[in-house]
Structure 1
Amino acid sequence: MKTKVALPKGRLLTETARLLDSAGWGLDGYRLDAPIYHLTSPRFPNMQAKMFHERDIPVQVAVGNYDLGICGLDWVEELLVRYRSTDVVRVRDLGYGGGYLYAVTSPQFAGMTFDQMFARRGEVRIASEYPNLAEAFALGSRLRRFRIFPLVGAAEVYPPESADIAILREEPGRFAAAGLVPLRKLLGFGACVIANRASWETKDLSEILATLGGVAATKSTAPASEVATSV
């Protein structure tokens, strides 16, 4: 029986490739300049791997297209905060790719309460690559009226003209370069292994997982539905 694995492009690729090389998977095509996205493993001849944008991996695993995936917990939480019954099992934390999601704003808004932001235009505008987490933040902060701008990248360019708040992944110098200041730390994350629940219960994935190291996953330090508090 085939085991299908979804692997990340982008920011996690280099460290994931290093992990899989140490694990002996032999995925020679798994690299930044890969000409193809379908990969096979000499060590595990019944495995098929494919490269995806990280944000797509939890969805691919949840719907059963793939048995296992490696991605950031931020994208897992982005899915689960909206679809709590999703068939995704968080199996293992891998110890790299860590960081935080923040709500950030322009310095001119930094001293304002949400009520004061609301009073400026009758709503609070939030821009993010993580629209579900942004909505959870707004609801948890009891915003009376808000609008979410779902984006693919570059949310930091929206405040202050086109948004009051952006939900961003922390990266060195990112906030300062965009002239933004942290408003609230929302979620800690790192690279993790996830599994489709049906595959987890019916397939023997132990041999593959044994090569990956890491530690058994624990509950998130800040569940996505509870991370937002008012200012």
Structure 2
Amino acid sequence: MLSLALPKGSSLEQRTLGLFAAAGLQVTRPSERAYRGTITYGGPIRVAFFKPREIPLVVAAGVFDAGLTGADWIEETGAKVESVVSFTYSKTTDSPWRVVLAVPADDAARTVQDLGPGTRIATEYPTIARRFLQDEGIQAEVVHSYGATEAKIPELADAIVDVVETGSSLHHNGLRIITTIRTCAPWLIASPEAWCDADRLRRIQGMARLLDAAHAQSAQALLTVRVPTHCLDRVVRSMPERSWRVGADLHHTDLVIVQGLAQRAGLPDVIDRLLGAGAIEVTQTDGGMTTPAFPSDTHVRA
């Protein structure tokens, strides 16, 4: 039986469960508070929930065959795992989150080089913080924080290294970002042991394909475009890369129907270009889920 570790009680939990459900990999468990569940895909998959920081370690140790966690915790723990596929979402946005260095808003420091010797930096990421400070040649004291890192200033720290999505929490706590240390995203990871087992490798890669397709679907829109035949060439040049011709309009023989999958980011500009090229109508709907084939002996990359 394949085993999978998913994030619990963190900003990733609900978005991750939504992604698995969209991929047809619904996690069944007795209640939302339960720490155990199952997925039916090529046979049962045993699911357990852990803190994201624990997942790289339990996967690296072979306790679980695969898991999903943030790139920040993979780096922080130094766990030796196989990185299978990444996604671009966080708790409240469809973008990755950041690990940043922040100081009080009224602090004189404007760059990391402005931090004085002996600066106390609180963080849940001491390994990442120390490596960054060493690379920058900064002498500072790293204080390991166990949650609510913003609250460590000013009594326990002078600055913090913490994760942000929009930065609003730091602003509300009177902090200002000096620099971004890392941009991080969720990753599906696998244990080295499972990656060397043909059956488990096949099932993990199959799961990765479904998740990757579901994630791409949420970022795409299907455009259906009605075009006069004499404008078709111009409109085709403005269509997204993944496009196709559907056929002729049922009622107007001089109209052609084309479709394409466009990224939601920048979609208004794409529609403007299509209309400017001669399209008479552009209909936008949710993008369909497309599951590509991948070679069985290669990693799946986003």
Select 2:134's aligned residue among 133, 139, 163: 139
Tell me by how many angstroms 1:55 deviates. Answer: 1.3
**In 1, are the aligned partners of 2:53 and 2:77 still within 8 Å (CA)?**
no
Higher CA-based Rg: 2
Alignment partners' CA distance in 1, 2:205 and 2:301: 15
> Is 1:53 aligned to 2:51, yes or no?
yes
Other structure's SS at 1:143 match? coil
Other structure's SS at 2:54 match? helix
Structure 1 counterpart of 2:6, one-letter code: L
Alignment partners' CA distance in 2, 1:174 and 1:22: 30
Other structure's SS at 1:108 match? coil
Q: Which residue of 1 aligns with 2:170?
A: 175
Structure 2 counterpart of 1:22, one-letter code: A
CA RMSD of aligned residues (A): 2.2
Q: Which residue of 2 aligns with 1:38?
A: 36
Normalised by the length of structure 2, the TM-score is 0.62
> Is 1:95 aligned to 2:88, yes or no?
yes
Tell me by how many angstroms 1:136 deviates. Answer: 1.0
Between the aligned residues of both structures, percent identity stands at 25
Structure 2 counterpart of 1:174, one-letter code: S
**In 1, are the aligned partners of 2:115 and 2:138 still within 8 Å (CA)?**
no
Deviations 1:172-217 (A, max 9, x none): 3111111111111100011111111221122333332232115844
**In 2, are the aligned partners of 1:124 and 1:143 still within 8 Å (CA)?**
no
Select 1:67's aligned residue among 65, 68, 71: 65
Other structure's SS at 1:54 match? coil
Other structure's SS at 2:88 match? coil
Normalised by the length of structure 1, the TM-score is 0.80
Deviations 1:74-117 (A, max 9, x none): 1112123xxxxx42111101221211110001232424765762
User: Do the aligned partners of residues 211 and 111 (structure 1) sit closer, same or farther apart at CA in structure 2, a change above 3 Å counting?
Assistant: closer
> Which of 175-184 and 199-208 deviates more?
199-208
Other structure's SS at 2:127 match? helix
> Which of 203-212 and 56-65 deviates more?
203-212
Other structure's SS at 1:198 match? helix
> Is 1:156 aligned to 2:157, yes or no?
no
How many residues in Structure 1 have an aligned counterpart in Structure 2?
A: 205
> Is 1:15 aligned to 2:8, yes or no?
no
Structure 2 counterpart of 1:196, one-letter code: S
**In 1, are the aligned partners of 2:17 and 2:26 still within 8 Å (CA)?**
no
> Which of 104-113 and 147-156 deviates more?
104-113
Which residues of structure 1 form unaligned runs of 5+?
Answer: 81-85, 219-231
Other structure's SS at 2:89 match? coil
Structure 2 counterpart of 1:58, one-letter code: P
**In 2, are the aligned partners of 1:7 and 1:51 still within 8 Å (CA)?**
yes
Structure 2 counterpart of 1:210, one-letter code: R
User: Do the aligned partners of residues 6 and 188 (structure 1) sit closer, same or farther apart at CA in structure 2, a change above 3 Å counting?
Assistant: same
User: Do the aligned partners of residues 104 and 116 (structure 1) sit closer, same or farther apart at CA in structure 2, a change above 3 Å counting?
Assistant: closer
User: Do the aligned partners of residues 189 and 78 (structure 1) sit closer, same or farther apart at CA in structure 2, a change above 3 Å counting?
Assistant: same
Alignment partners' CA distance in 2, 1:112 and 1:70: 34
Select 2:125's aligned residue among 125, 130, 134: 130
Alignment partners' CA distance in 2, 1:101 and 1:111: 17
Structure 2 counterpart of 1:151, one-letter code: S
Tell me by how many angstroms 1:71 deviates. Answer: 1.1
Other structure's SS at 1:152 match? coil
**In 2, are the aligned partners of 1:25 and 1:44 still within 8 Å (CA)?**
no
Q: Which residue of 2 aligns with 1:27?
A: 27
**In 2, are the aligned partners of 1:91 and 1:194 still within 8 Å (CA)?**
yes
User: Do the aligned partners of residues 189 and 217 (structure 1) sit closer, same or farther apart at CA in structure 2, a change above 3 Å counting?
Assistant: farther
Other structure's SS at 2:131 match? helix
